[in-house]
Amino acid sequence: MILFGKRALLGAGLAAVAAPALGQGAYPTRPITMVIPFAAGGPTDTVGRLLAQAMGADLGQPVVVENVGGAGGTLGAQRTAQARPDGYNILLHHIGMATIPTLYRRLAYDPINGFETIGMVTEVPMTLVARRNFPATNMAELIAHVRREREKINYANAGIGAASHLCGLLLQKALDTPFTTVPYRGTGPAMNDLVAGTVDLMCDQTTNTTEQIRGGTIRAFAATTPERIAALPDLPTAAEGGLPGFEVSVWHGLYAPRNTPRPIIERLNAALLKALAEPNLVRRFGDLGTTPVPANRATPEYHRTFWQQDIQKWRPLIQAAGQYAD
């Protein structure tokens, strides 16, 4: 049973607020807040800041990033679901939007119907990485070590609902071995501890790991994609390393509060499409192992359909693991 907060009902009331007809004192007339539901300096923050800059250039108003980390990305999602549906509050979130509806059974917002979709942004590969002095030099040694050490292994993630949490569930299933998870407000701060060697293992997005891997500050074992990652050509895939089926990529999408007027969603979508073609963003995404989605995947409709299908895709894994957040 999902509990809706009073404010969710309030959200519906606010929808009655007249939407400014685009053209008269055209939207936007002031800065827009983009909530990032994880700590600054992490992968979602990196994608969000590039996007905010490019969208702001098209919209003619700054898009200001606000990091609202914690509770696996649900605090930031709640902030946006309960914000005014007036076009000045948007959210960049990821695959967590597809796992949270199953992982959390008591939320103060509706994790599915509390949002309008604006469009998908990118699909970021993940990498299995460890502290530099981790006692394994390839996937086979890592598998043997984790199976031997089990709960003595400290695996960092960004909380229940995060992409790093989902990847951890998949790794435990693939290895048929439990390990200890250490939650952070984002994989930005988790990376600091991995580099410092105070946690052992993490599965994280290339937007946060590529430069560390290239710099040799962490050790990389595998990419969670069917093909090798162009930005990390020497990194084998998990299948090459002996873990076929250990595959996940982190899709990202933009959202607004439910009942944000359609003309505003369309204006935000137009700015998103412009941003995804912006040369600096495209180059930076490439440096960090990812690419913008093609335009036909960046529509509000495609985004909603893909999201709904992904909720169904991950539900059985989560139910089988029985690891609920509440």
Give the x/- contact pattern for ligand MLT in 79-98, rule: CB under 6 A.
Answer: ---------------x-x--
Tell me the C-alpha distance between 19 and 188, whole Å: 37
Rule CB under 6 A: is residue 186 a binding residue for ligand MLT?
yes
What is the SS3 assignment for 158?
coil
Place of tokens 């990118």: 122
> Under rule CB under 6 A, which residues in 231-270 are in contact with ligand MLT?
none
Tell me the C-alpha distance between 120 and 255, whole Å: 9
Residue 78 CB, nearest approach to ligand MLT (Å): 16
Cβ proximity to ligand MLT, 206 vs 259, nearer residue: 206
Q: Given the rule CB under 6 A, which of 79-87, 99-107, 161-169, 193-201 is the region that contacts ligand MLT? A: 161-169
Helix 96-103 × helix 300-321 angle, to 10°: 40
Contacts of 249 (CB under 8 A, 6+ apart): 123, 124, 125, 126, 224, 225
Rule CB under 6 A: is residue 100 a binding residue for ligand MLT?
no
Nearest alpha carbon to residue 218 among 234, 233, 202: 202
Cβ proximity to ligand MLT, 87 vs 159, nearer residue: 159
Rule CB under 6 A: is residue 200 a binding residue for ligand MLT?
no
Q: Given the rule CB under 6 A, which of 97-105, 183-191, 219-227, 231-239 is the region that contacts ligand MLT? A: 183-191
Burial class (CB in 10 A: 0-12, 13-18, 19+), 208: buried
Alpha helices in the chain (DSSP H): 6-14, 43-59, 74-81, 96-103, 139-149, 163-175, 187-196, 206-215, 262-276, 279-287, 300-321
Rule CB under 6 A: is residue 42 a binding residue for ligand MLT?
yes
> Under rule CB under 6 A, which residues in 122-141 are in contact with ligand MLT?
none
Q: Given the rule CB under 6 A, which of 156-164, 227-235, 289-297, 315-323 is the region that contacts ligand MLT? A: 156-164
Cβ proximity to ligand MLT, 86 vs 247, nearer residue: 247
When binding is defined by CB under 6 A, the residue of 163, 223, 229, 271 that contacts ligand MLT is 163
Which run of H or E residues covers position 92? strand 89-94
Rule CB under 6 A: is residue 44 a binding residue for ligand MLT?
yes
Interacting residues toward ligand MLT by CB under 6 A? 38-39, 42-45, 94, 96, 158, 162-164, 186-188
